[in-house]
Amino acid sequence: MSTTDASQIHDLRSALDFLREMPGQLLETDTQVDPDAEVSGVYRHVGAGGTVMRPTKEGPAMVFNNVKGFDDAKVCIGMLASRKRVAALLDLDEEHLGLEIGKRFESLIAPKQIAEGAHIDCQEVVYKATDEGFDLRKIVPAPTNTPVDGGPYITMGLAYGTSPDGSQSDVTIHRFSCVDKDKLAMWITPGSRHLGAFFDEYCQRGEDMPISISIGLDPAVYMCCGFEAPTTPLGFNELQIAGALRGHAVELADCVTVPQKCIANAEYVLEGYLMHDEVINEDVNGHGYAMPEFPGYTGGAKVCPVIKITAVTTRTNPIMESCIGPSHEHVSMAGIPEASIYKMVETAIPGRLLNVHAAPCGGGKFVAIMQFKKSSKNDEGRQRNAAMLAFSAFSELKHVILVDEDVDIFDMSDVMWAMTTRFQADVDLITIPGCHCHVLDPSNDPAFDPSIREHGIACKAIFDCTVPFNLKKNFIRSQFMEIDQDKWAKEIAF
């Protein structure tokens, strides 16, 4: 596959083929790796980035060809752990990645059922829970991220569910702890996931919810499943956006053992029922922890609903896809707020917001840097209106940093320069206490601040680092000579 033809990417394998022709974007190794903490331990140094404790860096995706205990499987990690790589895989502009994804809402393509009689990649090998000796932990090489993880975790599992009446469907990424030979613990962030809303309906009816978990997918699918309301209201299937990105529908297949759909070209699919009357602690190793979460801390184990697994289906010689919880991979998938924020602000205040960056320091969720252009005195104050709209567009957002058009929102040193020279805390810091943010931020807790009533409540803040319009002439950056870049190309590229 040519590196210029990302349109041919349709699954994980074609995406890996694409990266093999893209210098510096894929590292493959035959050295044996232990899925128990070693996969993440290695990748931390290769390319995790994000909020992972230093030393870490941006680097290539990685494929481990020799996985201890799993002779017929490989593990891929870090596929989305680079904005540059994601942009290439989606054939989009890196700088305006979120905005470009947002534009695809104008040309949605709904997922479709795979043609009758067509080969179904994800069902080349079928393991049923009724088979003698069935143990999903021996089939699925789910890694642990650290030595104190609660257990092996599926971190790139796309859950597919439907409402009880079958009228609505949705896909969401969740973490799944492999707690037994035929059971997963599924963590559902309270009140913020559409599958959680569906599950609540099933529980009210006293019924178990049929569910599938697809692993190892086209990057376009993963990049679109992080949208939330109001951009994608309840019942909006985000696979429509992936279809728009690729120009063709995502193909679905019927599961083998449950009345549910799955991604037809997935590497692994786990089928089962989310039990309405059974919960379990996701920590089966007894350390008291779950796994590293996107803010950069290893969170405490939760009591979670149980998925009773009925089957695992795979491709031949499957590739397990995984991620480190706080890595830049999460930043990429969570960075969807860029599209949601831009869409809402552009609708309400057209033409002023130039770009948005969901910064890695916030795991792609907590911090948004908004580049706002004031063209007249009448635009003064609108930048703060835009920031408040951002909180409405993405409720988990905690901090908004507003900057002018001459600031590089992807360079935190430049953003901090703007905060240092264009910001006075007594007039430019706007705090909004008592707002719900995200339960995985450990500072959102009464123990941290007695004014916080419940865990998950935060003080949202706007840092207005824009220059007042009537003072712009006093804040012009030093202007350097525009050189002939062709003449000095060799030196510039050094």
List the catalytic residues.
293
How far apart are alpha carbons 218 and 235 in whole angstroms?
22
Contact (Cβ atoms closer than 8 angstroms) between residue 359 and residue 84? no
